[in-house]
């Protein structure tokens, strides 16, 4: 059972559901009368984006970006590259970047500058989770789910070595899993 690799549940299904609903309502209110482009940063944000999109009661499109990731490690190398770019031109559009978790902020900082150069009408950042104590570069978060302490987390899209994304909650991975 993949659940056996979890030390402790950090955000259970009910909390996640409530968090997504709250952010969706905020976005719906803030963008009334507008059309949005949700930019899902693959792969970690895919489950959050799927739920968030359904919690927003406005016309929107969803696009995807892949940034180079941690590989199989548990912390960033600081070297960001775009491996898959957006399909659409976002010039003049209202863009919300959807991220699973902000750790050092290095990935987001790079991606936000990159998208800003394409002249969107507006650009905001939405993240499900944030580890503020780990920040190396400042990123302004417009929509924030929960701040979490510095544990390596998996589930609800978050992976370790590509696994555990399908857990319906966010939990702390047992250190012996990534230390072995
Ligand atoms: P940053 O550039 O250091 O902010 O890295 C952010 C990315 O690292 C996130 O989008 C996640 O994909 C990954 N990440 C950061 N912390 C965790 C974690 O605790 N578990 C799983 N992935 C994480
Ligand atoms: Mg990610």
pTM of this prediction?
Answer: 0.94
Name the residue of 158, 162, 178 to mutate for ligand 1: max ligand atoms within 8 A of Cβ.
Answer: 158
Predicted local distance difference test score (pLDDT) of residue 125: 98
With 0-12 / 13-18 / 19 or more C-beta atoms within 10 angstroms meaning exposed / middle / buried, residue 93 is buried
Strands 6-11 and 82-84: unpaired
Find the helix packing angle between 13-30 and 46-55, rounded to 10°. Answer: 60
**Ligand 1 atom 9 nearest Cα:** 101
- Give the model's confidence band at 69: pLDDT under 50 very low, under 70 low, under 90 confident, else very high: low
Q: Is residue 70 very low, low, confident or very high in pLDDT (cuts 50, 70, 90)?
A: low
* CA nearest neighbour of 113 among 128, 100, 95, 130: 95
Q: How far apart are CA 22 and CA 15, in angstroms?
A: 11
Which numbered atom of ligand 1 lies nearest the CA of 134? 3
Q: Is the shortest distance between the CB of 99 and ligand 1 below 6 Å? A: yes
What's the rounded mean pLDDT across residues 32-42? 98
118-150: per-residue pLDDT in tens?
999 999 999 999 999 999 999 999 999 999 999
Ligand closest to the CA atom of residue 49? 2
Residues taking part in catalysis: 103
- pLDDT at position 68: 83
Which two structure tokens, joined as six digits, stand for 89? 């031109």
Question: pLDDT for 155-170, tens place per residue?
Answer: 999 999 999 999 999 9
Average confidence score pLDDT of the chain: 94
Whether the predicted pLDDT of 73 surpasses 60: no
pLDDT for 74 equals 59
| pLDDT tens per residue, range 58-67 | 999 999 999 9
| pLDDT for residue 166 | 98
Among 103, 108, 111, 166, which residue has the most ligand 1 atoms within 8 Å of its CB, making it the best to mutate? 103
Ligand nearest to the CA of 47: 2
Secondary structure string (H, E, C) spanning 67-111: ECCCCCCCCCCCCCCEEECCCCCCCCCEEEEEEEEECCCHHHHHH
pLDDT over 90 at 75, yes or no: no
Q: What 8-state DSSP symbol labels residue 150?
A: S
């Amino acid at each position: 059972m993949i659940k056996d690799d979890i030390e402790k549940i950090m955000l259970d299904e009910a909390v996640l559901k409530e968090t997504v609903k709250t952010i969706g309502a905020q976005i719906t209110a803030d963008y009334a009368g507008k059309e949005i482009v949700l930019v899902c940063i693959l792969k970690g944000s895919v489950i959050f984006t799927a739920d968030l999109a359904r919690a927003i009661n406005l016309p929107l499109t969803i696009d995807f970006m892949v940034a180079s990731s941690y590989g199989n490690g548990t912390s960033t190398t600081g070297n960001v590259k775009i491996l898959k770019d957006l399909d659409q031109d976002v010039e003049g559009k209202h863009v919300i970047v959807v991220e699973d978790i902000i750790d050092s902020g290095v990935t987001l900082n790079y991606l936000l500058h990159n998208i800003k150069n394409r002249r969107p009408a507006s650009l905001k950042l939405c993240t499900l989770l944030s580890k503020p104590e780990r920040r190396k570069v400042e990123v302004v978060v417009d929509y924030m789910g929960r701040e979490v302490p510095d544990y390596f987390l998996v589930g609800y899209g978050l992976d370790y070595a590509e696994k555990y994304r399908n857990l319906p909650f966010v939990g702390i991975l047992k250190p012996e899993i990534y230390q072995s």
